[in-house]
Amino acid sequence: MTQSFKKVHAITGMKDVLPDSSAQWQQLEHTVRQWLASYGYRNMRTPILEHTRLFTRGIGEVTDIVEKEMYSFTDALNNEHLTMRPEFTAGIVRAAIENNILYDRPQRVYSLGPVFRHEKPQRGRYRQFHQIDVEALGFAGPDVDAELILMLARLWKILGLKDIRLELNSLGQAAERAAHRDALIAYLEQHRDVLDEEALRRMYTNPLRVLDTKNPAMQEMANNAPRLFDFLGEESLAHFDGVRRRLDDAGIQYTLNPRLVRGLDYYNLTVFEWVTDQLGAQGTVCGGGRYDGLIELLGGKSAPAVGFAIGVERLLDLCSQSGPSVAAAECQVYMIHQSDEAQRAAVGLAEQLRDAGLAVIVHAGSSGFKSQFKRADASGAAVAVILGGDELAAGTASIKWLRADALEGQAQQEAIPQDRLVTELKQRV
Ligand code: ATP
Ligand code: MG
């Protein structure tokens, strides 16, 4: 007796992309790679696993990600503390330092792929999700901050997205944040009674993050708190001004959001988010900013940098609202046959069609014409090629157009000499 096997399910919050929806992913990836190349950004790939201390150091101990969202474990084979990347930036910076790629020039780079955060799964929030991560390493000026934002505006245009808006802020420099921090802690101490548990825990370690709260009971307190913006000095203001002027030049609208602080510790000066109302509670599609201190913090020679990350699942959700996506066809030509001999002839013809650049499926196994036609229809192919006994005897193949849009005035079914098949289909499919 065989023991029944308990079905294994995917891990909570980790999704499969099935063949009928992968076309949408592939198309987006294709568009994104072309878009990035058009601004001179080159692909970079780093490992999914890194040493845990890269993230605790790079992202900051008192952040949502490091405090409660990382998939970390000890490698039992050598006792190393490892973490599945919760974001790309720290890994990219580690790799840039380690391989010395900033030695003679700045670098524009990007990565696409999965990242992992142990969060409560809901629409737009998963435990494995994907990011398009873009980093400009070694650039100091506001021109590159603006370039990144301009790029994003172009991507939304390419994708036909309209309901997406830009929020902008400046976090200034460390000394400015320190002065503001003192004022903020004094303010929080005065408003202890409205702070929730998390806020009380963070008010001395990361008071800025207290203002980033989603707790409705704390909104008024947060709205009236001392603003970092009011503590910015001349240089920080000039940088911010440089970004804003370039956005104005390009006609890009934005809202100044003094409460925008972002969830990671390493940001300074410009920070931004692109937000939509079309995705329910998880409306932030892209977040980014400048992180001039990170490269040095992670052991490199001090160099400025700026970047952003787009959440792919949220972006695809948004794209699919402007129109249903169509599943990709399995092939262009579906070959139907009736005997062992015909099947073998079909294999040869299919190879010739593939040489001519067509995507071809030869029906697998033997079944009646009717069920083979059903499969051909379901495959999404434009045309079926039929090799029956009559065709074999006559050295022909019959073709039958399967979809109205592929038909366009062509005879629905006709016989073609086998040696003309490739030429005919190449022209007509
Ligand atoms: P949120 O405030 O929504 O948690 P975040 O500030 O943690 O976002 P970032 O670290 O800036 O997010 O990541 C960049 C982008 O990745 C976000 O703007 C969002 O689109 C996407 N993202 C973040 N967390 C998730 C998640 N758990 N599932 C799906 N997408 C996510
Ligand atoms: Mg988060």
**How do residues 393-421 score in pLDDT, each as one tens digit?**
999 999 999 988 777 777 788 999 999 99
Which DSSP string corresponds to 184-222?
A: HHHHHHHTGGG--HHHHHHTTT-HHHHTT---GGGHHHH
Task: Decide: 386 and 336 in contact? Cβ < 8 Å.
Answer: yes
User: Three-state SS for 268?
Assistant: strand
314 lines ligand 1 (CB under 6 A): yes
Contacts of 108 (CB under 8 A, 6+ apart): 39, 40, 41, 42, 134, 135, 136, 137
CATH 3.40.50.800 fits 333-428, yes or no: yes
131 lines ligand 1 (CB under 6 A): yes
- Count, in order, helices (H) and strands (E) of the chain: 17, 16
Q: Could you say which residues of the chain have pLDDT below 70?
A: 1-2, 263-265
Best mutation site among 92, 282, 306, 317 for ligand 1, i.e. most ligand atoms within 8 A of its Cβ? 282
121 lines ligand 1 (CB under 6 A): no
- Phi, then psi, of 176 in degrees rounded to 5: -70, -40
User: Three-state SS for 129?
Assistant: strand
Nearest-atom index, ligand 1, CA of 274? 18
Q: Where are the domains of the chain?
A: 19-172+232-322, 333-428
pLDDT of residue 290: 97
CATH architecture assigned to 19-172+232-322? 2-Layer Sandwich (3.30)
**How do residues 123-159 score in pLDDT, each as one tens digit?**
999 999 999 999 999 999 999 999 999 999 999 999 9
E strands, 259-410, in order: 268-275, 284-290, 305-311, 333-337, 360-362, 383-387, 396-401
pLDDT of residue 2: 67
Task: Decide: 379 and 361 in contact? Cβ < 8 Å.
Answer: yes
pLDDT of residue 310: 98
Residue minimizing CA distance to atom 29 of ligand 1: 125
Residue minimizing CA distance to atom 8 of ligand 1: 284
Nearest-atom index, ligand 1, CA of 127? 27
pLDDT of residue 105: 94
Binding residues for L-histidine are 87-89, 117, 131, 135, 262, 266-267
Q: Round to whole Å and give the CA distance between 424 and 417.
A: 10
Residue minimizing CA distance to atom 26 of ligand 1: 125
Q: How far is the CA of 323 from the centre of ligand 1 (A)?
A: 24
284 lines ligand 1 (CB under 6 A): yes
Q: How far is the CA of 79 from the centre of ligand 1 (A)?
A: 30
Task: Decide: 270 and 306 in contact? Cβ < 8 Å.
Answer: yes
Nearest-atom index, ligand 1, CA of 309? 14
pLDDT of residue 405: 78
